[in-house]
């Protein structure tokens, strides 16, 4: 166990200057390591270490507004003054290209800044700042929390004109106050995509107003649970991506579903459905859905379950036979009908 920080520095220099690969695994007391970092003007930041270029003095810290200082300390969990300045600088730089996440956390209310790597349009790995607001499950108490009020002040000061590639919102309890809180955090932020995860989708006029207000963004709706608000789904004026994330199987008798007429209406509006909890039981519905998706001018996904008996009846009604390469029309079909069906099934 190394007890002197000077020994740590000497060992680092020897290994760094070695002409051949060299391993050195030793134990270092935490206090010794902290003294070494402090002596070398190095501080821990994120998952690594960064060298201090200029120190933050007492005067600069005292000039920080009280609520801003308290918010940074509270929500970033940073007690060291230099780390505080680094975090603040990182947050200021994040406005150029950032993601903003609003999500639940069972243990704390926090505001976090992280760096992650994503693929751009050319599949190149690029760095992006991720801003994360973690909320306690008891959302009804948010407006009464003084610290949460400071978070909103911090959000407005540092990200008044922020650009977020994607805003991700994951909430379990959806009510008017929750939507107002999310709106406050998003105020002044320009974004391209919105991911909204809802764990129980129940009729909520405020939520519909929220989606209507942000209808220009590409919306990805993630539904956890077994309740479907068809009126909400009908309210979307632009095509959206709808993902169901339910552990229940679609063929279980849950006492809820989307009827064929509503499904056809939503698909005709251009919405995409992934893992939708619907079992199509009419062969006419299959035909209608196929034609709608085939005629769509933009990419559209429809993932539904179809009873085997209904599917076989549909194939028979359309004079289609299974083959190893797909489906082929019967010989008595005309060439025009065969070509039409071939194009439709490929789509």
Can you state the percent helix, strand and coil of the chain, rounding each to 5?
Answer: 40, 25, 35
Q: Where does a domain end: 147, 165, 199?
A: 199
- As averages over each run of 10 residues, the pLDDT of the chain (347 residues) reads 81 77 78 78 52 37 40 46 50 45 46 48 54 46 43 51 63 62 66 74 68 81 71 82 65 58 88 80 86 86 83 82 62 52 49
Residue 286 pLDDT: 87
In this structure, are 73 and 162 located in the same domain?
Answer: yes
**Domain count for the chain:** 4
Residue 327 pLDDT: 60
In this structure, are 119 and 244 located in the same domain?
Answer: no
In a domain, 326, yes or no: yes
Q: What is the dihedral of CA 118, 122, 124, 125, to 10 degrees?
A: -10
In this structure, are 102 and 192 located in the same domain?
Answer: yes
List the helix and strand counts (H, then E) for the chain: 13, 14
| Alpha helices (runs of H) in the chain, residue ranges in sequence order | 5-16, 30-39, 58-62, 66-76, 81-93, 146-158, 176-186, 205-213, 230-234, 260-268, 283-294, 308-317, 335-346
The answer for 270, left when phi > 0, alpha when psi is -120 to 50, beta otherwise, is: left
- Triad 116, 118, 122: Cα angle to 5°: 155
In a domain, 45, yes or no: no
Residue 4 pLDDT: 84
In a domain, 13, yes or no: yes
In a domain, 217, yes or no: no
In this structure, are 316 and 280 located in the same domain?
Answer: no
In a domain, 230, yes or no: yes
In a domain, 232, yes or no: yes
In this structure, are 153 and 85 located in the same domain?
Answer: yes
In this structure, are 302 and 313 located in the same domain?
Answer: no
In a domain, 209, yes or no: no
In this structure, are 227 and 284 located in the same domain?
Answer: yes
Give the whole-angstrom CA distance, residue 93 versus residue 189.
14
In this structure, are 169 and 194 located in the same domain?
Answer: yes
In this structure, are 83 and 154 located in the same domain?
Answer: yes
In this structure, are 141 and 252 located in the same domain?
Answer: no
> Which contacts (CB < 8 Å, 24+ apart) does range 210-217 have?
210/179, 210/182, 210/183, 211/235, 211/236, 212/237, 217/167, 217/191, 217/192, 217/193
Distances (CA, A) of 289 to 36, 261, 296, 301: 67, 11, 11, 11
Residue 254 pLDDT: 46
> Which contacts (CB < 8 Å, 24+ apart) does range 81-89 have?
81/56, 82/43, 82/52, 82/55, 82/56, 83/43, 83/44, 83/45, 84/56, 85/56, 85/60, 86/43, 86/45, 86/50, 87/113, 88/158
In a domain, 146, yes or no: yes
Residue 49 pLDDT: 52
In this structure, are 183 and 96 located in the same domain?
Answer: yes
Range of the domain at 189: 54-199
Give this prediction's pTM: 0.51
Q: Where does a domain end: 199, 233, 257?
A: 199
Residue 224 pLDDT: 73
Residue 315 pLDDT: 83
In this structure, are 70 and 155 located in the same domain?
Answer: yes
Residue 67 pLDDT: 44
Residue 104 pLDDT: 46
């Amino acid at each position: 166990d190394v007890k002197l920080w000077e020994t740590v520095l000497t060992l680092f220099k020897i290994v760094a200057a070695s002409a051949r690969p060299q391993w050195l695994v030793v134990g270092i007391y935490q206090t010794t390591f902290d003294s070494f970092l402090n002596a070398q003007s190095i501080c821990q930041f994120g998952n690594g270490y960064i060298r201090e270029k200029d120190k933050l003095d007492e005067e600069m810290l005292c000039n920080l507004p009280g609520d801003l200082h308290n918010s940074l300390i509270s929500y970033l969990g940073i007690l060291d003054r230099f780390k505080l300045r680094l975090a603040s600088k990182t947050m200021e730089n994040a406005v150029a290209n950032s993601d903003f996440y609003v999500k639940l956390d069972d243990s704390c209310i926090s505001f976090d800044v992280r760096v992650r790597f994503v693929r751009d349009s050319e599949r190149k790995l690029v760095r992006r700042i991720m801003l994360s607001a973690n909320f306690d499950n008891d959302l009804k108490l948010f407006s009464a929390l003084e610290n949460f009020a400071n978070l909103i002040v911090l959000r407005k000061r540092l990200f008044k004109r922020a650009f977020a590639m994607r805003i991700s919102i994951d909430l379990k309890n959806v009510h008017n106050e929750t939507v107002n809180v999310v709106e406050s955090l998003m105020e002044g932020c320009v974004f391209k995509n919105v991911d909204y995860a809802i764990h129980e989708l129940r009729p909520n006029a405020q939520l519909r107003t929220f989606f209507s207000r942000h209808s220009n963004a590409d919306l990805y709706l993630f539904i956890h649970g077994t309740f479907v608000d068809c009126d909400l789904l009908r309210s979307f004026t632009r095509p959206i991506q709808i993902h169901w994330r339910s552990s229940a199987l679609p063929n279980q008798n849950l006492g809820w579903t989307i009827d064929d007429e509503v499904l056809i209406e939503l698909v005709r509006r251009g919405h995409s459905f992934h893992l939708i909890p619907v079992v199509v039981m009419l062969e006419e519905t299959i035909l209608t859905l196929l034609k709608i998706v085939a005629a769509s001018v933009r990419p559209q996904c429809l993932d539904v379950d179809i009873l085997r008996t209904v599917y076989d009846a549909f194939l028979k009604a359309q004079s289609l036979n299974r083959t190893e390469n797909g489906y082929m029309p019967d010989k008595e079909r005309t060439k025009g009908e065969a070509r039409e069906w071939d194009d439709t099934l490929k789509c």
